[in-house]
Amino acid sequence: MPVKVLLTGALGNIGRNATKKLIEQGHQVRCFDLKTRANEKVAQRIEGQIEVVWGDVRSPDDLAAAVQGQDVIIHLAFIMPPASEDRPQWAREINVAGTENLLQAMKTVLPPPKIIFSSTFSVFGDTQSQPPPRTVSDPVKPVDNYTRHKVECERLVQESGLDWAIFRFAVVPPMSLGGVEELPKMFDFPLDMRIEFVHPRDAGLALANAVGSKKVWGKTLLIGGGPSGQLYYRDFMGRMMNAMGIGMLPERAFGSKAAMSDWLDTSESQSLLNYQQHTFEDFVQEIASLLGYKRYLVPLFRPLIRRWVLQKSPYFRAKR
């Protein structure tokens, strides 16, 4: 049965994939996001298949208009690191106050829509010293603005009086080669860190399948890739670098920041949502294919490319 679904932050990574799956399943999709040049380009690609409402979660009036007539709200709009740490007050206005605004707007609708709140497995904190996997019953230990905001919003959703579900996502990388500004961050983490990957299309499918489910409401679910998505960071980086023809980078290029990452018990979410359709190897091959003909040029310039990439590592520069 078609459902009317509003997605906040709809034109970001998870939102784009969820929107595509919702359209494929025949649901009526309304996308709510900021009107930026980048978002307009994304919206143009699916023009005619969705309704776009431009607005800001900081504006109660924008949200009041957006939630009208909807059955389910998928709340994805959130400021992530490093912006959440560099601009904490601004991030809180969007993350926490924005969620409060959305919940209040939903309560004005009769009958009120249900809400799926997108959270993160990072709320467990640094659990690398504990045996995996993490379970929903594990205590949360937020350590930065982003995870503190997520935990606070989880509580707001649970206490809202609305029908709710909370999805704590594992790592959902974008289906792109990323920008140069992203390179330094990939060096922050130790290579022996446990990390769980979930394919972006599978993350979108989990949300789409939840919309029509009767069994997810009132539950907090861990959304990850399952056994095929459970890796050590060394393997994650090595396979990605090899697929692009660059090759694994030396260990001294990587740091030792606290790892808010771990493997997850996703047995319940998979049983309810049947979303784990792709492996990490699928993702690696898809990323490699994005290089196109450039894959054949990389070996010619490999030493120069490796040197350029390593220059983005603050740890490698410090140890030279």
> Where on the phi/psi map is residue 44: left (φ > 0), alpha (ψ -120 to 50), or beta?
alpha
What residues does 33 pair with on adjacent strands?
Answer: 54
**Are the C-beta atoms of residues 69 and 6 closer than 8 Å to each other?**
no
Residues β-bridged to residue 221 = 167
Res. 201: pLDDT tops 70? yes
Distance between CA 172 and CA 190 in Å, rounded?
19
Return the percentage of the chain with pLDDT > 70, whole number.
97
Token pair 């990390």 in the structure block, residue: 195
Average pLDDT, the chain: 94
Residue 7 above 90 pLDDT? yes
Mean pLDDT confidence for 221-239: 96
Strands (E) across 191-255 are located at: 194-196, 220-223, 230-232
pLDDT in tens, 265-309: 999 999 999 999 999 999 999 988 888 888 778 888 999 999 999
Distance CA 139, CA 173 (A): 25
Q: What whole-number distance in Å separates Cα of residue 52 and Cα of residue 29?
A: 9
Query: With the C-alpha atoms ordered 276, 282, 287, 289, is the resulting torsion angle positive or negative?
Result: negative
pLDDT at 180: 52
Query: What is residue 189's predicted lDDT score, i.e. its pLDDT?
Result: 92
Give the sign of the dihedral formed by CA 9, CA 62, CA 150, CA 72: negative
**Buried residues in 75-109 as b, exposed as e (16+ CB within 10 A):** bbbbbeeeebeeebeebbbbbbebbbbbbebbeee
Q: Which of 105-114, 174-183, 228-237 has the lowest mean pLDDT?
A: 174-183
At 13, the amino acid letter reads: N
CA 71 – CA 83 distance, rounded (Å): 32
Quick one: pLDDT band at residue 177, thresholds 50, 70, 90?
A: low
Q: What is the pLDDT of residue 244?
A: 85
β-strand pairing of 4-8 with 51-54 = unpaired
Check whether 183 has a pLDDT greater than 80: no
In Å, the largest CA–CA distance within the chain is 64
Average pLDDT over every residue of 246-263? 91
Domain annotation for the chain: domains and CATH numbers: 4-180+197-227 (3.40.50.720)
Strands (E) located in 42-150: 51-54, 72-75, 114-120
pLDDT band for 319, please (50, 70, 90 cuts): low
> CB–CB of 106/163 below 8 Å?
no
Token pair recorded at residue 59:
């504006």
Q: Kindly state the DSSP code that residue 249 receives in the 8-state scheme.
A: P
Enter the tokens of residue 111: 């009958």
Average pLDDT over residues 84-102: 97
pLDDT of residue 286: 92
The predicted structure's pLDDT at residue 98: 98
